Amino acid sequence: MKTQSTSQPSREAYAISLFDILTKILSNPLLMSKMYNGPGIEVENKSEFWHGELWQQSPLFGEHSITINSVEYFTGDFVHISASNQLNCMRIISIVLHNNGLKLKLQRFLAFDELPAQFKTTDRYFNSNNKRWLLEEDKFIIVEPEVIICKTSVWLQDQNKPNYYSYTVSEILYKYQNKWKIRDVCYRIRHPSEYCPFPKNPYNLPTWKIFIDLYYDDFGTFQNVYHSLSGVYIQIGNMPFSLRKLLKNHFVIGFVPFGGNFKEFIYPFLEELKELEKSKVFNIQGKNILVIAGLGVVTADLPQGNDLVGVMRHNAKRGCRSCKIENNDSLKSFNDLSKELRYHHLMDKEFDLILNSDSSTVQKNLCSKFGLKNQKPVLDYLIRDRFLQTPQDIYHAIAGKILKLMDCTFNMFNSSGNNEFIKNWKLFEMPIKWHKLPNSITHRQSFMMSDRLRLAMVLPHILRRYLHISHLKNNSLIELQENLSVNINKIIDKLIQCWVIVAKCAKVCFSLSFSNDSYNILNNLLNQEIIILTKTFPQDFTYLPNLHINGHLQYHAKTFATLVNSAVGVKEMVHKTFKNTVPHTNGKMIEKDLIKRYNTLQALRNIIDGTSDSRYNNHLGNGYFQDNIFRSLLSSWYATSTTMPNNKEIVVDETVEPPDNCIYEIRLQTKWKLHQILQNNFETNMSIDGDIYYSLKTAYKEYFNFTEYLHNNKIVYFNYYL
């Protein structure tokens, strides 16, 4: 007789309410004083979410209406302005703060007479009086609100026909490689006003619009066996980058249990966010405020990101979640992709065909044709644009490219090349703050992503110091010479140039701010990277998904101001903190233990920050924070801050003057063993009456104003060199 299974058909999952998270954030004086709530801002150097196009245009985040001459105008409205003594039709793209005043960003529509000569055909001339052509430009026009004359109506022919309209638009005029081209109006990214209702505030309450950044990824829970646990976190885009990069400002929604279903787990979160899209009144510190929140960006790696937009995995025939190019062909990434992008409304039609197919065979063929899954993604329950708001992650993409280039480079070295590389690698002056990198020839597969990014910075310099054609294998030399069509003496320069361009691309991609010129520089560098990598190593890079996405990164940068804003670099560290906690749990209900520990950290953080909550005694929190031992315990802890609840700064001077001006840097090497300490007659533990204890006590008192006892009395000795 077989033993019956004790497995349960379902199990409990533990999640934190989005309402509770937002209540705590809005009640936290240290966070609220630094969070931004207002219209998108137009600045020269863009760094925050509110500098990006999505915040500026979406009614969920930016300013959505303005009153001009007693008439209320909304983003997305079509208007007339007067220029050169004639009426010009334009569209209000966004209402932005520019030079300390509210301005309008407008998109132009061209009349037949304004078209380039090659497009003035007889067909277009027919009924041209009410025809207009949408002009797609890199820069929108910014004007004062007073230039608006009146509203008008336009029928964009990819939408339902209105009862009345003054103009009709069926085509888009745009430039590609400095040449004018025309495409059908259906191939466009729709303005958020076309699918996002305008929020209402009937009681005229103070309003907060919250930008939600959702992060979802798996991490290996155990050391030796990959048993993945899925974590779901959010960040608040209203916080500046300086706050968002802190681990304590990554807020946990919960962990999908082992074997659990993400769709079932995320449903309560989606229900709450759906309610917030329509607005919800919160009571914060005894005052009612209206909170409107929406999904701003979904950050995820390639596999999870594809799942969240309903696209097949990246190894499928059409596995890019941003376009429909086959096999991730990198050489086509900078072609005219205007008809290949995965526009949200066109994907909806493709999903309808798949879901309404007559048989499983037809459905399977349609899925393969479109590169889509057989059901819509769960996040479609919310207001969002799949193409814009699920960007490609540069952190994984660039680290993956670098690892592939490492493999290509080091596999070409002969034994002499390997030995010379190790020699120069050890002699190279690495920055002091970097931890010691492993041997990049023998241990490169174990490199962390941050290690690969660091390697990309220094490798061009190391190769320039020593690399010669005698360090490469003969068959590799012949292959490179054929690929590059250059003299054999130029091969080393070309190889180093690959690393130089990859390093430059990484630097620009991880820039903390972008200007309008920077976006063009980014695009040019990414294009150069594709050209040189596919030419030098065609078999390795032509169909590499990490390289293919180069053609989409400029879109993402403009949407969110920078690429760092939608990257997962810091978010990966959140995984690491929880993974390091797993050995200290009971190993049975891991997700529950992690949630409990996280709640404890956030509760302490709220007390320290002075969060207003009837369950906390804030005066007690202030007393704890004044205590030097308690303060020193938490000051370096990711879950709290070194700022008083009353915003009084605690000044801690961490600068210690060296005893001799000649000493400017000390580097420790080789920890001493016990017998070495005893041979030199040094003490292993501090004596209360000893000189070391007295010196430390004096130093802590003078520099840190600490008068309490020293808890740790063990002394560790190292060799050192200056």
* pLDDT tens readout for residues 582-634: 877 777 788 888 888 888 888 878 877 777 766 655 554 555 555 655 655 55
User: How many residues comprise the chain?
Assistant: 722
What integer pLDDT is reported at residue 261 of this predicted model? 84
Residue 540 CB contacts under 8 Å (≥ 6 apart), including other chains: 404, 407, 408
Helix, strand, or coil (residue 629): helix
Query: Would you state the structure tokens that stand for residue 463, as one six-digit string?
Result: 């190769």
Q: What is the 3-state secondary structure (H, E, C) of 129-194?
A: HHEEEEECCCCCEEECHHHEEEEECEEECCCCCCCCCCEEEEEEEEEECCEEEEEECCCCCCCHHH
What integer pLDDT is reported at residue 644 of this predicted model? 39
Query: Would you state the structure tokens that stand for residue 117, as one six-digit string?
Result: 């000569």
In angstroms, the CA 489 to CA 145 distance is 62
In angstroms, the CA 187 to CA 78 distance is 20
E strand intervals along 221-349: 228-236, 251-256, 280-284, 287-299
Q: Are strands 86-98 and 71-74 parallel, antiparallel or unpaired?
A: unpaired
Q: What is the mean pLDDT of each run of 10 residues along the chain (722 residues)?
A: 57 86 92 94 95 96 94 95 84 94 95 93 87 90 93 94 94 93 95 93 93 86 64 94 90 86 91 95 91 94 88 87 90 90 95 94 94 93 93 92 94 93 87 78 84 91 92 93 91 95 95 94 95 95 92 95 90 81 78 87 79 60 58 50 40 43 58 85 80 77 64 75 50
Exposure of 665 by Cβ count < 10 A (0-12 exposed, 13-18 middle, 19+ buried)? exposed
Helix, strand, or coil (residue 712): coil
Contact 318, 325 (CB under 8 A): yes
Tokens 């308690």 found at: 630
Choose among 320, 370, 318: nearest CA to 349.
370
Q: Write down all domains in the chain, each with its CATH number in brackets.
A: 65-194 (2.30.30.490), 313-390 (no CATH), 394-567 (no CATH), 587-635 (no CATH), 667-721 (no CATH)
Query: Would you state the structure tokens that stand for residue 267, as one six-digit string?
Result: 């449903």
Contact 464, 496 (CB under 8 A): yes
DSSP 649: B
DSSP 63: B
Contact 310, 377 (CB under 8 A): yes
What integer pLDDT is reported at residue 652 of this predicted model? 36
In angstroms, the CA 582 to CA 594 distance is 8
Choose among 574, 560, 553, 481: nearest CA to 513.
560
Task: Kindly report the backbone phi and psi dihedral angles of residue 78, in degrees, each rounded to the nearest multiple of 5, phi listed first.
Answer: -95, 135
- CB half-sphere exposure, 346, CA atoms < 13 A: 20
In angstroms, the CA 154 to CA 163 distance is 11
DSSP H or E run through 265: helix 262-277
Tokens 């990959």 found at: 226
